[in-house]
Chains A and B, each alone.
Chain A
Amino acid sequence: MPGNLKKEDLKIHKTKKALMAALSILLERQKFAQITVGGLCKEARISRVTFYTHFTDKYDLLIHWLENTKTEIINNAVSYEVIENNINNFVACNSKIIKNLLGDANNETTELLCNFLLSSLHIINDKTNNGQINPQYVVLSKFYGGGLMNYIKWQIENKFPEDLQMMNSYLYSIMLTMLKWME
């Protein structure tokens, strides 16, 4: 639980947690496009109005779920290696969910997932301190993100091959090389 959570927010945190759990359960079974707010509310046993008190739509809930997962992934991580390891674990443990997020025809969820992974790896910061767009970072994040998504899809489709660990290290060394090249 995030440390800055106010005491009065605890109950609301519980509602959000129930909705995130419902989203995970439904994503194990179906594509994100097939999930409805009604279905989420039924699974979490909350009213539709309660849902809309906290979230604008199911995409908003997905973003919240990804943010929450990101906090878990980067929590106390001291190096890229640890984050990388946490991401690999996340992908392996949630392969059905990721498959269902990647399977959406409109690509919106793929982009959300991609942004989540890139921001977990701290490479989505495409703006300079002045708030200006940094074209190099834009190219890097789009290029790397696209590759990462395809790679994860391939991993899942091939049921996580045995030499995956070596492949993962290679992938992240590419990223580190790219980041160095940026400096």
Chain B
Amino acid sequence: MGDLSNKLEQIRAIKNGKGIQYILDAAYKILGNPALIFDMDYKLIACPDGVVNDDPIWIEFMAYGRLGNETIEFFKNEGFIESVANCTNFDGVTYLISNKLKYDRIFGQLNNNSQISVADLVAVACDKPFDDDIPVLIKALCDILSKELGKSDYYQNYGQTYQENIIKNLIEGGIEDKGIYTGHVANIDKGLKTNIYVAVARIAQSDSTDPKLVYFRELFKQTQPDFKYSIYVNYIVFFISSDNTMLNIEKDLKKLIEIFDKNNIYVGISSNFENLFESQRHYIEAVNALNHGLNSNNKQRIFLHDGR
């Protein structure tokens, strides 16, 4: 226990502001095993300086700067992607252990300032077996690295782009292999309540190239940060959520209504669902609700799929 609190203190004492390379170098000395970080596209971001080992996946990262499709497929088949998706909603760290891996590893997620997962940390037990307290230490290390990444505008933008791509794939129904996407979709699901709705907002006279859409997306996000936003076609598409199967607009969208009214923004909202893999159908519902609502000329601003 003394050893744990000592190591935990050492990790928490790693100075922020010196960059992720510095943190990983310092962490290597404390943990006794190396850890690297890679982004959501499996591209290597950083690893401790001068580490050489015989772990095939580590070597793949060093040689190509990213993981290949074969390794990602292996991750899927071994249930690692699923483990990562599961830890997203619980501890944020998970072991990746298999007799097909040369060394055990432990995985943690790194978030940007908007709490979007932008990178993964993996520590590899190639120098010594993991101690029992390793999850606590990795969690602490992830917190420090997340703070460091949070300082970077790049990772703020990267997180937004990453999230938009996943939302785009969901509403286009483009996810053929759920197994590969489980972790990514779990990142979208994170923080959403039981009942999900797709909403589409039409900003007057703007198309997908109009900077107004970006401006309003950011405004929506600042106003209601727990929803998930994207720009798609000529709309701002967003996943909203509620504890109730019947959306209470005044309560659930309270903060956004004022912006809609002030800026002449019309919104269509789908029926409720829980399974994000069904987003495409609900996106179509939301667009139809918006179009029917606008054609009906009934002076409303928010149109629900069921016509309320």
Q: Which residues of A contact B (CB under 8 A)?
A: 8, 10-12, 14-15, 36-38, 41, 45-50, 52-53, 56-57
Contact = CB atoms under 8 A, between A and B. Distances in A.
B223 interface: no
Contacts of A14: 79
B277 A45 contact: no
Contact of B194 (A10, A36, A46, A50): A36
Contact of A12 (B82, B185, B275): B82
Contact of A49 (B79, B90, B185): B185
Contacts of B189: 47-49
Contacts of A47: 85-86, 88-90, 182, 186, 189
Nearest to A6: B77
Nearest to A37: B274
A53 B182 contact: yes
Among A10, A41, A50, A57, which residue has the most Cβ atoms of chain B within 10 A? A50
A52 B188 CA distance: 14
**Interface size grouping (class) on chain B:** 20 to 34
B276 A46 contact: no
A46 B77 CA distance: 17
Contacts, number: 59
B86 A56 contact: no
B65 interface: no
A11 B98 CA distance: 10
Nearest to A39: B194
Interface in B267-300: 274-277
A36 B275 CA distance: 13
Contact of B186 (A11, A37, A50, A57): A50
22 contacts: A11-B82, A12-B79, A14-B79, A15-B82, A37-B274, A38-B274, A45-B86, A47-B88, A47-B189, A48-B89, A48-B274, A49-B182, A49-B185, A49-B186, A49-B189, A49-B277, A50-B182, A50-B186, A52-B274, A52-B277, A53-B277, A56-B275
Contacts of B79: 10-12, 14-15
Interface of B: 77-79, 82, 85-86, 88-90, 178-179, 182, 185-186, 189, 194, 274-277
A74 B178 CA distance: 32
A69 B194 CA distance: 29
- Looking at chain A's contact residues, is the secondary structure mostly helix, strand, loop, or mixed? helix
- Looking at chain B's contact residues, is the secondary structure mostly helix, strand, loop, or mixed? helix
A49 B274 CA distance: 9
A50 B82 contact: yes
A85 to B, nearest CB: 36
A53 B77 contact: no
B174 to A, nearest CB: 16
A8 B275 contact: no
Given A11-B78, A53-B179, 10 more contacts: A14-B79, A36-B194, A41-B89, A45-B86, A46-B85, A46-B86, A49-B185, A49-B189, A50-B82, A57-B275
A129 to B, nearest CB: 36
A50 B81 CA distance: 10
Contacts of B86: 45-47, 50
A32 B244 CA distance: 19
Contacts of A41: 89
A52 B89 contact: no
Contacts of A57: 275
Nearest to A18: B86
Among A12, A45, A47, which residue has the most Cβ atoms of chain B within 10 A? A47
Nearest to B77: A8
A136 to B, nearest CB: 40
A10 B194 CA distance: 29
A14 B82 CA distance: 11
B164 to A, nearest CB: 18
A52 B86 CA distance: 12
A12 B81 CA distance: 11
A45 B77 contact: no
A41 B274 CA distance: 12
B82 A52 contact: no
Nearest to A54: B178
